[in-house]
Amino acid sequence: MTNPKISIIVAIDDKRGIGKNNKLPWHIPEDLKRFRRLTSQHTIIMGRKTFESIISYTGKPLPNRINMVITRNPDFRAEGVSINTSLEEALFEAKENEQSEIFIIGGAQIFQQAIDMGVVDRIYLTKVEGDYDADTFFPPYTDFKKVISEESREENGIKYKFINLEREE
């Protein structure tokens, strides 16, 4: 079993909002490209609602990645994904396959569990300026104060920053 880095990748608004009606509240093509570039060829772990949101857009699991879904529903089935009943189980399985980096991609409950467990090494954060009236929120991430990189951007009138954070030692 390898010991890959465990990272969260997420976009949040000024109030830490991450979603509304199980969808992203904004459309930022550069953020989607960054997500694809960072997560391709890696293992991604997500909750069932996040998976269903992705399926509603793409019709299939995300390509060029090992897709892992966490659900409490013992009857849940989906083609092309690994199904797990807990984050611990998913991480154990992911570490058997992934060499360098495992990405936790949502949703709010899975993010909260990962942060509470203390297993997250890095957060790839897209901070979107404004309040998007979200109904789902990213948990506080106060232990992640070490800024590795920060880049301000604007697209379609939306201001945002790509910020890579690591846990303060």
- For residue 66, the cross-strand partners are 43
Question: In 3D, which of 69, 70, 71, 89 has the Cα closest to residue 79?
Answer: 69
> Which CATH number goes with the domain that contains 66?
3.40.430.10
Q: What is the pLDDT of residue 2?
A: 67
Of the listed ranges 37-41, 43-47, 63-67, 97-101, the one predicted with least confidence: 97-101
| Domain membership of residue 13 as a residue range | 5-166
Question: In 3D, which of 72, 106, 66, 105 has the Cα closest to residue 86?
Answer: 72
Task: Report the percentage of the chain scoring pLDDT > 70.
Answer: 99
Host H or E run for residue 97: helix 87-97
Host H or E run for residue 158: strand 158-166
Residue 54 has pLDDT above 90, yes or no: yes
The stretch 68-88 carries a mean pLDDT of 95
Q: What angle do CA 77, 79, 81 make, to 5 degrees?
A: 85
Residue 1 has pLDDT above 70, yes or no: no
Residue 20 has pLDDT above 90, yes or no: yes
Question: What pTM was computed for the model?
Answer: 0.96
- Report pLDDT digits (tens) over 96-150: 988 899 999 999 999 999 999 999 999 999 999 999 999 999 999 999 999 999 9
Is the CA virtual torsion 140, 71, 20, 154 positive or negative? positive
Q: Measured in whole angstroms, how far is the alpha carbon of residue 111 from the centre of its chain? A: 8
DSSP 139: P
Looking up tokens 């232990």 gives 143
Q: How many domains does the chain have?
A: 1
